[in-house]
């Protein structure tokens, strides 16, 4: 190896966990994190909820306390951009002019929010939620102002809408599709969340697109293609995110909606790995390329990539899983529900339910749940175990058995 230094590009969930894992696994060489952000690595899920609602600060959201990095001899290059990978020399070039030699390199750059591109957007007050700075800016606006238009009816948009309503703002959500949350969330869950938002006072305009925007003194006018005009104080856009792949592509690595890697998260260059939102990996179970944008994926891939950088040959096989908290409700989705051809619904009292999305052969493609707090968490975890073990549970048992673990136990012996 040309260096005894592990270099990680990206100071998010995947990068921070990878650095921690390298030290936990006994690596004694150098560990370096290069991050465009000026802050220490922090958790992103609280940005659309606790930071907006409860005033949580950066310190509350840090993945590791500040002293963790010097204590574990992890070098941080914050507010610094990686500009080029000299692959033959195994050297990462930085915006500061410095070059970092590496024996292994991890690309964990994450994703950036897709920008709303309509006439007038560049001169109006639009905020895209991705960073702590974005969340603090939105929080300040929601506390001081009264009218908010959210563009996009996905998870981020709806979480922001819920937080804004709890702060007393008038909220419109504009969504281009005919229903909320797209294909990522089963329709029965999306409809229930839609109803809860309406109950809370959120006003929806579905099947509509923003045509143009205008600024009048401190007021923004959002013009829709239907002719509707929405005056507001602030516009928050949540229209998806795109993987950050420029560093990989200009360094000659394969890119296609993410940095392409095999099941061990390694690129075509044996010294370079990728993890997190910008990583498109080969899923052995699905037998295809998958890219996920969620906390759990970044958390687990950071750990697996680090172990493989040290010589392990682990395939990343974790079941996709994400959650969203809106009002008192928690949504969870595991696996790939859209692959299912039929469903089994399991009721957990009057306000919570779990849906198993079944393949034709009786295996489970995905599990989704919606309910108050963590009422369904245990059943979702068991559903994930059923998927990992490729079980074909009796549909009646899935629907009616009081203790789902009893289905699992015979298969464990």
CB 283 within 8 A of CB 21: no
Q: Is residue 22 part of a domain?
A: yes
Q: Are residues 61 and 95 in the same domain?
A: yes
Pairing mode, if any, of strands 234-237 and 91-94? Answer: unpaired
DSSP code string of 288-353: EEE---SHHHHHHHHHHHHHHHTT------PPPEEEEEETTEEEEEEE-GGG-SEEEEEE-SSS-E
Q: Are residues 152 and 296 in the same domain?
A: no
pLDDT for res 144: 80
CB 166 within 8 A of CB 53: yes
58 vs 65: CA distance, rounded Å: 11
What is the Rg, in whole angstroms, of the alpha carbon atoms belonging to the chain?
22
Hey, how many other C-beta atoms are within 10 angstroms of the C-beta on 223? 17
Q: Are residues 105 and 252 in the same domain?
A: yes
Q: Are residues 341 and 386 in the same domain?
A: yes
Domain final residue pick, 309, 336, 356: 309
The DSSP symbol for 223 reads: E
Q: Is residue 316 part of a domain?
A: no
Phi-psi region of 45 (alpha: psi -120 to 50; beta: other; left: phi over 0): alpha
pLDDT for res 413: 43
**3-class secondary-structure state, position 248:** helix
**3-class secondary-structure state, position 230:** strand
User: Looking at the 3D structure of the chain, how many domains does it have?
Assistant: 3
3-state helix, strand, coil in the chain (%, to 5): 30, 30, 40
CATH, residue 403 = 3.30.390.30
The residue segments making up the domain with residue 384 are: 328-412
pLDDT for res 390: 87
Hey, how many other C-beta atoms are within 10 angstroms of the C-beta on 114? 14
Q: Is residue 314 part of a domain?
A: no
Q: Are residues 64 and 168 in the same domain?
A: no
Nearest-10 crossing angle of helices 155-166, 132-144: 40
pLDDT for res 209: 94
Q: Are residues 288 and 252 in the same domain?
A: yes
Residues 336-378 have pLDDT tens digits of: 888 899 999 999 988 899 999 999 999 999 999 999 988 888 9
pLDDT for res 148: 93
Q: Are residues 135 and 29 in the same domain?
A: no
pLDDT for res 351: 84
pTM, full prediction: 0.90
Q: Are residues 93 and 121 in the same domain?
A: no
Residues 261-296 have pLDDT tens digits of: 999 999 999 999 999 999 999 887 666 788 999 999
CB 293 within 8 A of CB 113: no
Regions of the chain with pLDDT less than 70: 1-2, 285-287, 409-413
Tell me the backbone φ, ψ of residue 147, rounded to 5 degrees: -120, 130
pLDDT for res 410: 56
CATH, residue 134 = 3.50.50.60
Q: Is residue 319 part of a domain?
A: no
DSSP code string of 102-158: -SEEEE---EEEPPP-STTGGGS-EEE--SHHHHHHHHHHHHH-SEEEEE--SHHHH
Domain final residue pick, 191, 222, 239: 239
Residues 216-241 have pLDDT tens digits of: 888 899 999 999 999 999 999 999 89
């Amino acid at each position: 190896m040309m260096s005894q230094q592990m270099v990680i590009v990206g100071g998010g969930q995947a990068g921070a966990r990878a650095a921690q894992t390298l030290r936990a696994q006994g690596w004694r060489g150098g560990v370096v994190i290069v991050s465009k952000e000026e802050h220490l690595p922090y958790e992103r899920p609280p940005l659309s909820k606790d930071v907006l609602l409860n005033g949580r600060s950066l310190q509350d959201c840090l993945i590791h306390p500040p002293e963790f990095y010097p204590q574990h001899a992890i070098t941080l290059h914050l507010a610094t951009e990686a500009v080029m990978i000299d692959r033959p020399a195994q050297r990462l070039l930085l915006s500061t002019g410095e070059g970092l030699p590496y024996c292994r390199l991890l690309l964990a750059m994450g994703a950036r929010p897709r920008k709303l591109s309509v006439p007038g957007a560049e001169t109006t007050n639009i905020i895209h939620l991705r960073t702590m700075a974005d969340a603090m800016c939105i929080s300040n606006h929601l506390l001081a102002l009264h009218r908010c238009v959210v563009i996009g009816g996905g998870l981020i948009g709806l979480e922001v809408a819920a937080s804004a309503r709890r702060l007393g703002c008038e909220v419109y959500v504009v969504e281009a599709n005919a229903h909320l949350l797209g294909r990522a969330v089963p329709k029965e869950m999306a409809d229930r969340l839609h109803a809860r938002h309406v109950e809370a006072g959120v006003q929806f305009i579905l099947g509509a697109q923003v045509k143009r925007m205008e600024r009048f003194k401190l007021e923004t006018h959002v013009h829709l293609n239907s002719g509707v005009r929405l005056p507001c104080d602030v516009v928050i856009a949540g229209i998806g995110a795109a993987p950050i792949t420029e560093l990989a592509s200009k360094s000659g690595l394969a890119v296609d909606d993410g940095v392409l890697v095999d099941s061990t998260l390694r690129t075509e260059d044996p010294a370079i790995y990728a993890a997190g939102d910008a990583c498109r990996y080969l899923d052995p179970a699905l037998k295809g390329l998958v890219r996920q944008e969620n906390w759990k994926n970044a958390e687990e891939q950071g750990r697996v990539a680090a172990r493989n950088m040290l010589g392990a040959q682990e395939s990343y096989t974790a079941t996709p899983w994400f959650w969203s908290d809106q009002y008192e409700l928690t949504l969870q989705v595991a696996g790939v529900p859209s692959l299912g051809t039929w469903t089994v619904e399991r009721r957990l009292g009057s306000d919570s339910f779990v849906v198993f999305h079944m393949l034709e052969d009786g295996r489970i493609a995905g599990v989704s749940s919606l309910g108050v707090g963590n009422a369904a968490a245990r059943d979702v975890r068991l559903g994930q175990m059923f998927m990992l073990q490729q079980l074909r549970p009796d549909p009646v048992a899935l629907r009616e058995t009081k203790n789902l673990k009893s289905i699992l136990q015979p298969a464990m012996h």
